[in-house]
Amino acid sequence: MKLAFQLAYKNLIGAGLRTWLNVGVLALSFIIIIFFRGFLEGWNHQAIRDNIEWELGAGHLVHNGYDPYDPFSILDGHGRLTQEQQVDLFPVLVRQASLYPEGRMLSVALKGIDGQQNLLELPTASFTSSNTKIPAIIGKNMATSIDIKEGDEILLRWRDKGGTFDAANVTIVKIFSTNVITVDKGQVWIPIQKLWEMTGLENHASYYVANENYTPSSLEGWNYKTKDDLLSDFYKLMEMEKISTSFMYLLLLAIALLAIFDTQVLSVFRRQKEIGTYIALGMTRSQVVGLFTVEGTMYSLFAMIVGCIFGLPLFWYLHTSGISFPDFYQDMGVSFPTRLFPSFGIQLILTTILLVVVSAAVVSYLPARKIAKMNPVLALKGKMQ
Amino acid sequence: MNQETIIKINNLTKRFPVGEGEFTALKNINLEFFKGEFSGLVGPSGSGKTTLLNIIGSLDSPTEGEAIVLGKQISKLSHKESALLRNKHIGFIFQVYNLLPVYTVFENVEFALLLQNIPSEKRKKMVNDALEWVGLSSMANKKPDKLSGGEGQRVAIARAMVKNPEIIIADEPSANLDAANAHAILKTMKQMNKELGTTFIFSTHDEKVMGYLDRIIHLRDGMVEEDEIINVNHAP
Ligand SMILES: Nc1ncnc2c1ncn2[C@@H]1O[C@H](COP(=O)(O)OP(=O)(O)OP(=O)(O)O)[C@@H](O)[C@H]1O
Ligand SMILES: [Mg+2]
């Protein structure tokens, strides 16, 4: 085995340009695969972190009647907890309402949240810094869609305690920028005390947001969902994304491996005389098969080294400085950060290397197998077809 | 003289499949080679010289009959055993040298020793000795494509003899060489034969080669036509 490595090494170095072309193609696919996987992983981590920081906290204690995906559940999906039951929780009340930007009507989720909270990133402190009657904060996406600026007023209509419509102007005191589209698009945040007053639902909440200290206990009519429960759809999406993107990696890998395969097929054909000579000098055919397989596999080992030389500094740089994206992407309504920090785990790099090396070994072995059936006499004559 | 049999060929027939039928390249050959012989197969093209040499070299096996080389029956050897036989006991010299292009002269000669796991110090000495034999010590680090034809064939001779094999098989070694080079390599081989006792079997059309041989086996149409012992002691 050691001998096969020595000989394969000499053969590859001796082959010059052909070797470095294959190595180059492989190294490039190493880098691209690792880069994209790292990019995706970084994006996912960031999305999870953002969701927790902007919306989820440690979890939500949700009223059994409330389903965030079902607007009809908003009407009755609320209730109240006693003061003692609310330790390490703060309430969020959701109502349906309409905005009237420039004469149009826009259905929104009107959410009451405590201006004192500092668990979520939502800039609720802006409520108190303003003297307006109904201060509201909205996300940038929302602001763009209704074409409104900080300080502007807009007409809001909601149902009061009697179920009849009421209307008033709200003042946009703050427009925040977030990657979490679910707190932005179609959402208007106002102080919860105000919303209680407006709707007569004193101390009611659709859900409570928990902080890290909260210990869930079973409460009649309420259901505690940890942040992981709440993210389960996202996790599923991540899995699907992994599967669909792995097709891309496989394609990329296939192209790189094709280069090795091609070289191997050609080698077995063109180097018959050499193969015959190896056998005449006392190698068994399986040793020659081994030699050719090691040669092909060695492309991937060289590629790994080359990839590390060029890739590691690049990955390190991207990981620490991040990649910045123009606001453009947020404006398209994609949950996309302005600065993304790809994460290149050891595991990611090692599995990619393993994948490439193993598949290189396989595609090297397949054409080399032909050698085992070669007639050494014909090989020496170079007459095999 | 008490001669030791090194190769024995009994009723050997070799047939090749050709299209639907078969072609008989060797017909019922019976031959014996003795240790230290400097012999050659001579005959027209297609008479079966290479085929016989390949069987003796365990690169091929007989269809019928048997070839016993150094006490081993060729047709009964496994891949591993025949590889071992070639690696340790049989040296090959080809018409077109068959040097490994990416290796240096030194590495080409060293190859068979690498397969034998000989330690590097000893290997180095053996390779240098072999290169000295063929007068190429100064070319050790050259690649084969930088050598002349005569030099290339001398490297091939060094490669065949470095492991000190009992038998060296040389299939038309002078066919690509000019007269001066042909004589030079033959002298070297004859000297090895004398000093090291290596058994040589050639195949050739070349009159110059025939002039050096102690024994000429004439083949025609796959049969031994004449087995001619030449009892001259050449010292050209
Ligand atoms: N693998 C093979 N398949 C079919 N026929 C073969 C094969 N090898 C050799 N032959 C035939 O066997 C005969 C003997 O071939 P061989 O190569 O032994 O001749 P040779 O005496 O060495 O000739 P030359 O002087 O041209 O080298 C030839 O007619 C050749 O065509
Ligand atoms: Mg021949």
Report pLDDT digits (tens) over A249-289: 888 888 888 888 998 999 899 899 999 999 999 999 999 99
Tell me what pLDDT residue A142 has. Answer: 93
CB A110, CB A156: distance < 8 Å: yes
For a pocket test of ligand 1, which of B16, B42, B169 has the largest count of ligand atoms closer than 8 A to its C-beta? B16
Label residue A335 by pLDDT band (50, 70, 90): low
Q: Tally Cβ neighbours within 10 Å of residue A42.
A: 20
Q: How confident is the model at residue B231 (pLDDT cuts 50, 70, 90)?
A: low
**Residue B14 in contact with ligand 1 by CB distance below 6 A:** no
pLDDT at B118 over 70: yes
Amino acid at site A118: N
Taking residues B154-167, report their average pLDDT: 96
User: Using the beta-carbon criterion (under 8 Å), do B57 and A280 form an inter-chain contact?
Assistant: yes
Q: Enumerate the residues of chain B whose CB falls inside 8 A of the CB of residue A274.
A: 98, 100-101
Domain ranges of chain A: 2-52+233-380, 59-213
Residues 81-140 of B with CB under 8 A from A: 83-84, 86-88, 92, 94, 98, 100-103, 107, 111-112, 114-116
Taking the C-alpha atoms of residue A94 and residue A98, their distance in angstroms, rounded to an integer, is 13
- Mean per-residue pLDDT over chain B, rounded: 93
Ligand 1 within 6 A of CB of B46: yes
Integer angstrom CA distances of residue A109 from A70, A92, A123, A160, B1: 11, 12, 17, 15, 115
pLDDT band for position A248 (50/70/90)?
Answer: confident
Which chain A residues touch B94 with a CB distance below 8 Å? 280, 380
ipTM: 0.94
**pTM of the full predicted structure?**
0.78
Mutate to test the pocket of ligand 1, among B13, B23, B225 (most ligand atoms within 8 A of CB): B23
Tell me which of A342 and B12 has the higher pLDDT. B12
pLDDT band at A243 (very low <50, low <70, confident <90, very high): confident
User: B115 contacts in A (CB within 8 Å)?
Assistant: 3, 281-283
Please give the sequence-ordered ranges of beta strands (E in DSSP) within chain B, or none if there are none: 5-18, 21-34, 38-42, 64-69, 72-73, 90-93, 167-171, 199-204, 215-220, 223-229
Mean pLDDT for the stretch of residues B17-40: 95
Q: Tens digit of pLDDT for each residue in A89-101?
A: 999 999 999 999 8
Show residues of chain A in contact with B114, CB under 8 Å: 3, 6-7
**Does the structure show a pLDDT above 60 at B1?**
no
Contacts of residue A225, Cβ cutoff 8 Å, sequence gap at least 6:
A59, A60, A61, A62
* Residue appearing with tokens 């050494």: A376
pLDDT at residue A351 greater than cutoff 90: no
Residue B60 pLDDT > 60, yes or no?
A: yes
Contact A13 B102 (CB under 8 A): yes
Residue A238 pLDDT more than 90?
A: no
To which residue do tokens 């039951």 refer?
A85
Task: List Cβ neighbours of A176 (8 Å cut-off, separation of 6 or more).
Answer: A121, A122, A123, A137, A138, A139, A140, A184
Show Cβ contacts of residue A21 under 8 Å, excluding neighbours closer than 6 positions: A259
Q: Which of A276, A277, A283 is facing B115, going by the closest CB pair? A: A283
Tell me the average pLDDT across A138-165: 90
Residue B192 Cα to ligand 1 midpoint, Å, equals 29
Residue A381 parent element (H or E) = helix A376-381
The one-letter amino acid at B36: G
Which residue of B lies nearest to A6 if distances are taken between CA atoms?
A: B114
CA of B76 to the centre of ligand 2 (A): 25
Nearest to B175 by CA among B222, B220, B209: B209
pLDDT of residue A30: 82
- Contact across the interface for A14 and B103, Cβ inside 8 Å: yes
Distance B222 CA to ligand 1 centre (A): 9
CB distance from B35 to chain A under 8 Å?
A: no
- B114 to A285: CB separation less than 8 angstroms, yes or no: no
CA separation for the pair A203, A17 (Å, rounded): 76
Cα(A25)–Cα(A23) distance, integer angstroms: 6
Give the ligand with the smallest distance to the CA of B43.
1
The predicted structure's pLDDT at residue A18: 83
Kindly state the average pLDDT of the residues A291-318: 90
The CA distances from residue A55 to A50, A65, A78, A92, A179, in Å, are 8, 20, 18, 11, 11
Model confidence at B91, pLDDT cuts 50, 70, 90, reads very high
- Give mean pLDDT, residues B4-25: 95
Q: Say if ligand 1 is within 6 A of residue B51 CB.
A: yes
Tell me the three state secondary structure of residue B62.
coil
Q: Which ligand is nearest to the CA of B15?
A: 1
Smallest CA–CA separation between B233 and chain A, in Å? 32
- Give the percent of chain A with pLDDT over 70: 96
Q: Is the pLDDT of residue B108 over 70?
A: yes
CA distance A186 to A106: 8
Q: Does ligand 1 have an atom closer than 6 angstroms to the CB of B95?
A: no
Instruction: Give chain A's contact residues with B (Cβ, < 8 Å).
Output: 3, 6-7, 10-11, 13-15, 273-274, 276-277, 279-287, 375-377, 380
| Torsion angle defined by CA atoms of residues A181, A344, A28 and A7, in that order, rounded to the nearest 10 degrees | -160
**A151, A191 Cβ separation under 8 angstroms:** no
Tell me what pLDDT residue B234 has: 46
pLDDT for the residue numbered B115: 92
Average pLDDT rounded to a whole number, residues A204-208: 95
The whole-number average pLDDT for the span A125-134 is 86
Ligand 1 binding pocket includes B49 (Cβ within 6 Å): yes
- At residue B235 the predicted structure's pLDDT band, cuts being 50, 70 and 90, is very low
Residue A330: band (very low, low, confident or very high) from pLDDT cuts 50, 70, 90:
low
Considering only CA atoms, which of B23, B26, B31 is closest in space to residue B14?
B26
Nearest CA in chain B to A12: B102
